[in-house]
A and B are shown apart, each in its own frame.
Chain A
């Protein structure tokens, strides 16, 4: 599995080129700052830095960009914890428990937990990548549209079961999101639901819609509150508590391991990646936890599960990109662009001929993860001060920054208008008990679901069942999906029974 000659070559490459190390720190810092700003995605941060890599050698350029990737991956969880704003779709599940923890005054612990889980998840994913890069690439090649559809449906159904007390509202929110996600031109060329608006041809702008549903709606709902954390004493930023959060994370090695494994496997699937892995990991942890009922109310296990999975998705996405030359998302697409700028084509031949470079990238990512811990500690300490800002200043400021971010992403008023529409929708949905996260994921997966369903229909000639029976990986995913939902229902019933018994005593 591991070629020792190439490993030795990687060490030689890294020790002979100091430039590769020099770009680690600035890369992480850029990633952290950009990732923590609402509306600036990992992709944007990397796209912003891409031109600068043109004048670097290949290895330092890739190390610089992957450092931004790592930094921004964690940076997105800082606003997710402090303000309930997921910087990216991969931080959606972090808001479920991270934000309630912050509202309870446990923001320092939540940030410490998120940082430690991210670092460990990232490290674990690269260890798995180091050992399994060749077998993973073989598995990913076997996944067709039916398998992708199955994974996306799994993510959706899990959200329905995460919805809490009103399952019908959760499923309606998810289905509504899927429908909104199919607006515009589909892969077969049919244009629906655009109302004659040209920018809707490409679909509803996803990031502004996500920011509106999850963030702006929360802020509008907080207008009658003075501070994010009601208790003045709890607003203090404590380095000791951040470290306490870090220490707390190590009590749950199973959650971290499960999250990392889910992150690597799901992250390796192109187009699905971290936006589902964090939800899968969160849901699996909730199902297995004895205190699953407290998830969503500020349980640190939820933050650990989400962060371990979304950070380890980076390793999975890198596996697909390096092994197959297929970008799993925007960030790996930019890495491939950087490859092209240096006249290098990613894919099976790249791995076969340049194993030393691949291992050097993996080793530099070990170093990035370690360094992220140190830089991240300082960063979260400074960022934590946001809870001390009175909401009368914070609400308008964040709304304006989000509006600017929405404009920057779309390059026109389409972004801010979408943000506004979905803020109002999100505010109303939160008010009446609809899980907005289900709508967000539906919106993100709508076109993916439709595209893969159409492809499956074309390949199978309409015979879905006959075709499905010939696809063992699809059957395995469907079996896992059914098993996971069944287990979820059983554990829910068991928890309800225990709660009823303890209430009776």
Chain B
């Protein structure tokens, strides 16, 4: 998106930098609220200030000139491609948060079905068969070599 002065705004980069600075500032305030003693802030405070200064140096890169070659949101990427990435991210979140709730077997199978479809597997029977076999193989294979029992619902 271009501004009146002939500069673009790389929105994705702006969101990322805002998130990094937000986390740094929140962490610094939290650390200072715990204690202002040297043993608490010796590394955290200077490192946080350094991060904020460095973020200021990065900032101009977020508003490049409209004719600049770099800082273009990944070339050739369509909205469809981005939506697929976001679906995969949401599916991974579903897997991470639901493993202990609905069981590793169901969560893994559900993630595999969604992720395979998002990644481009169009044959539904291949998708279901591979997801089921992979889930069974992984649950039993990984289960034998790790010390933690995986919570399961069906298997």
Contacts and interface: CB of A to CB of B under 8 A. Distances in A.
A416 B119 contact: no
Interface string B31-72: 100110111101110011011001101100100000000000
B89 A407 contact: no
Contacts of A188: 37, 39-40
B38 to A, nearest CB: 7
A393 interface: yes
Given A186-B40, A408-B146, A428 B119 contact: no
Interface residues of A, number: 62
User: What is the predominant secondary structure among interface residues of chain B facing chain A?
Assistant: helix
Q: Pick from A397, A399, A400 the residue with the most CB of B within 10 Å.
A: A400
A224 B121 CA distance: 12
Nearest to B93: A420
Interface stretch (A251-259, A450-458, A470-478): A450-458
Interface in A441-462: 449-450, 453-454, 457, 462
Interface string A407-445: 110011100110110011001110110100000000000
A171 B47 CA distance: 11
A190 B119 contact: no
Contacts of B35: 190
Interface size on B, as a range, is: 35 or more
A192 interface: yes
Given A166-B61, A399-B115, A223 B88 contact: yes
Contact of B92 (A166, A216, A408, A454): A216
B44 A179 contact: yes
Contact of A392 (B37, B100, B121, B138): B121
A396 interface: yes
A46 interface: no
Given A400-B111, A403-B96, A424-B89, A450 B43 contact: yes
A366 interface: no
A227 to B, nearest CB: 11
Given A190-B39, A420-B93, A172 B55 contact: yes
A192 B95 CA distance: 28
A395 B92 CA distance: 11
A40 B148 CA distance: 13
Contact of A220 (B26, B88, B97, B146): B88
B16 interface: yes
Interface in A372-419: 391-393, 395-397, 399-401, 403-404, 407-408, 411-413, 416-417, 419
Given A169-B58, A392-B119, A399-B115, A408 B142 contact: yes
Interface string B87-111: 0110011011101100010001001
A191 B99 contact: no
B116 to A, nearest CB: 6
B20 interface: yes
B47 A223 contact: no
B1 interface: no
Contact of A423 (B92, B104, B112): B92
A278 B116 CA distance: 36
A193 B116 contact: no
B124 interface: no
Contacts of A427: 85, 89
Contacts of A175: 47, 50-51, 54
B47 to A, nearest CB: 5
Contact of A396 (B40, B99, B116, B142): B116
A179 B47 contact: yes
Contact of A420 (B20, B37, B96, B104): B96
B142 A457 contact: no
Nearest to A429: B16
A182 interface: yes
B40 A413 contact: no
Given A168-B57, A183-B27, A417-B96, A400 B134 contact: yes
A190 B108 contact: no
Given A403-B95, A404-B138, A192 B27 contact: yes
Interface of A: 34, 40, 44, 47-48, 166, 168-169, 171-172, 175-176, 178-179, 182-183, 186, 188, 190-193, 216, 220-221, 223-224, 226, 391-393, 395-397, 399-401, 403-404, 407-408, 411-413, 416-417, 419-420, 423-424, 427-429, 431-432, 434, 449-450, 453-454, 457, 462
The 7 closest A-B pairs by CB, nearest first: A396-B115, A188-B39, A416-B96, A392-B119, A408-B146, A168-B57, A172-B54
7 contacts: A175-B51, A176-B20, A223-B88, A396-B111, A399-B115, A407-B99, A449-B43
Interface of B: 10, 12-13, 15-16, 19-20, 23-24, 26-27, 30-31, 34-35, 37-40, 42-44, 47-48, 50-51, 54-55, 57-58, 61, 74, 77, 81, 84-85, 88-89, 92-93, 95-97, 99-100, 104, 108, 111-112, 115-116, 118-121, 130, 134, 138, 142, 145-148, 150
